[in-house]
Structure 1
Amino acid sequence: MNFELSSDRVTETSPLDETSLLVIILDTNPGQRILRENPHILTQCTDSVIAFANAHLMQKAQNKLAIMACHSKISEFVYPGPGKPLDIRQVDGQYEVFTLVEKTVKQNLMKVLTSETSTVYTESLLAGAIAMALCYIARILRTKTPGLKINSRILTVTGSSDSASQYMNYMNVFFTAQKQSVVIDVCALDQHLSLLQQGCDITSGLYLRIPQIQGLLQYLLWVFLPEPPVRQKLVLPPPVKVDYRAACFCHRELIDVGYVCSVCLSIFCKFSPICTTCQ
């Protein structure tokens, strides 16, 4: 007995494709306290970030990755690097993409570090690096394949201290990320960062200050590797109380109580009859 399946009864279901775009911002400013005390920590952090990035690519073949180096004067993409990709061949059975990520990041990171000739290091331009990451994500989303859903997030790995002088820049990128549905995660290596903690809370990201630098890779894989929708089902470190203090526009310091201009909403720590921002 022969059974024939009519072609009009065959229905092909194509579920909505989903992929993840991860942009990692690595603070390479030599002015960080942990790097001043032990410069070799940068090598350990770089190796941990590369291993974490490869783990992200290993989760799904369609996952996308970008890595940035944030310095005191510039912020540049070290992966994918500018120009033609490196010609990579299989080494010791390692996946070619993993080898490409490792060699490209280390080569471009060396260029960034050697191009800095000044011995005076200012604060890291983290707000500008996040803004560049948001522009990169917007370009990827604009040129993506129709029907493809991309979950975008930014991970900042830094040992710098809080910078109240970048307060307005931080607030601009935080609310821009919230509007674009981009999650911002922060891994603090040394000091507590109240402003970046606000950004994590605004964008529904995770903030973690690791207790010891030796376990950086373990914390990255445990806390920051899972996608935001999956994190609700995992046992992660409990959220700490968010410090929502604002920075005054006059001295760029975090204050508990201040004066706010009724016209432009500028914040000052001392009373002034004329607003220095909008006059």
Structure 2
Amino acid sequence: MNNITLPNEISPDNTTLDETSLLVIILDSNPGQKMLRESPHVLTHCVDSIIAFANSHLMQKAQNKLAIMACHSKTSQFIYPNQGKNTDVRQVDGQYEIFTAVEKITKKNLAKLLTSENSTVITESLLAGAIAMALCYIARLQRTKPPGAKLNCRILVVTGSSCSASQYMNYMNVFFTAQKQNVVIDVCALEQHLSLLQQGCDITNGMYLKVPQLQGLLQYLLWVFLPEPPIREKLVLPPSLKVDYRAACFCHRQLIDIGHVCSVCLSIFCKFSPICTTCHTVFKMPALPAVKQKKKKKL
């Protein structure tokens, strides 16, 4: 009688045969980004590259799962898959139906988000909130997975925005939460170097890459971020840069070496202030040292 390998049986390389990889892609669609203000058509190029990259992830293994989020100035939403909605997508001849669904649903929901948020005031991107939503989504899938199944999760952030010191504590909270949940955070910076997100990659053992040329975005995504974290150790990838763990002050949004920290909300300031501008806590001014009176000499 031939031996039959059961779905939950351990294979010779100590990996389960029903191991699933979940990739959550966070696309920064905030029109306030410098590259989008100068060239709005860049967003179309980024979306097409991300869709091709997402389909490559699904093509690697039939069990792989995908989720795509759009991060805006006022909200963050899942644009794939549809949350609680059934959308009929007409299949394109010669194209795999899942690939067609990823492309059609992603572009449709992204266009709806950009149209609805077009009249709002453009502020900084809510990247920390988007990562928190992705972690909640991952936690829900971890609770509902079948017994014995293994779900490897990672988050890829694609952004051209700058780091915001006002979200410093939010960033640190989601970074250490991801580390506790064994979720890898990768960051693809399109415009400028992002020191805070680089810290998150280092904390969660993820990859950080500042794209040298935006025209080759898809090539960099496939080369650096498509392989799973265990496989990356065997590949020749760009060397990791030295991580700058300096904190950013909340007053001038600059990296500092030595500063003052609020004991209530842990806000960081480069100069002492009697009132915390974040939580409005009033601190006592340090008392002046007492002056000792000189003893009079006896005649």
TM-score (norm 2): 0.85
Is 1:109 the equivalent of 2:110? yes
Counterpart CA distance in 2 for 1:188 and 1:263 is: 33
Identity of aligned residues (%): 78
Residue 85 of structure 1 deviates from its aligned partner by 2.9
Most deviating of 220-229 and 9-18:
9-18
Q: Per the alignment, do residues 66 and 12 of structure 1 end up closer, same or farther by CA in structure 2, a change over 3 Å counting?
A: closer
- Matching residue of 2:290: none
Amino acid at match of 1:127: A
Residues 249-258 or 106-115, more deviating: 249-258
The AA in structure 1 aligned to 2:192 is: Q
Q: Match for 1:125: what amino acid?
A: L
1:43 is matched with 44
Structure showing greater radius of gyration is 2
Shift of 1:87: 1.9
Residue equivalent to 2:128: 127
Moved more, 90-99 or 172-181: 90-99
Specify the alignment match of 2:141 in structure 1: 140
Partner of 1:204: 205
Kept in 1: contact 2:165–2:250 (CA 8 A): no
Question: What is aligned with 1:76?
Answer: 77
| Alpha-carbon spacing, 1:131–1:262, altered in 2? closer, same or farther (3 Å) | closer
Unaligned ranges ≥5, structure 1: none
- Correspondence for 1:257: 258
Equivalent residues of 2:195, 2:243 under 8 A apart:
yes
RMSD over aligned Cα atoms: 2.0
Paired residue secondary structure (1:186): strand
Q: Which amino acid aligns with 2:55?
A: N
What is the CA–CA distance in structure 2 between the aligned matches of 1:272 and 1:214, rounded to whole Å? 46
SS across alignment from 2:147: coil
AA partner of residue 218 (structure 1):
Q
Q: Which runs of 5+ in 2 are unaligned?
A: 11-15, 284-299
Does structure 2 conserve the Cα–Cα contact (< 8 Å) formed by 1:164 and 1:254?
Answer: no
Q: SS in structure 2 opposite 1:107? A: helix
1:163 equivalent in structure 2? 164
TM-score, L = length of structure 1? 0.91
Instruction: Give per-residue Cα distances to partners, 1:73-116, cap 9 Å, x unaligned.
Output: 01000001234332234312100000000000000001000001
Task: Give the letter aligned to residue 223 of structure 2.
Answer: W
What are the within-5 Å matches in structure 2 for residues 208-223 of structure 1? 208-223=209-224
In the alignment, the residues of structure 2 paired with residue 10 and residue 171 of structure 1 have an alpha-carbon distance, to the nearest angstrom, of: 50
Task: Report the more deviating stretch, 201-210 or 14-23.
Answer: 14-23
Segment of structure 1 superposing worse, 269-278 or 237-246: 269-278
Take 2:65 and 2:220, find their aligned partners in 1: how far apart are those partners?
A: 21
Name 2:245's counterpart in structure 1.
Answer: 244
Q: How many correspondences in the alignment?
A: 272
Listed as ranges, the matches of 1:63-102 within 5 Å are 63-102=64-103
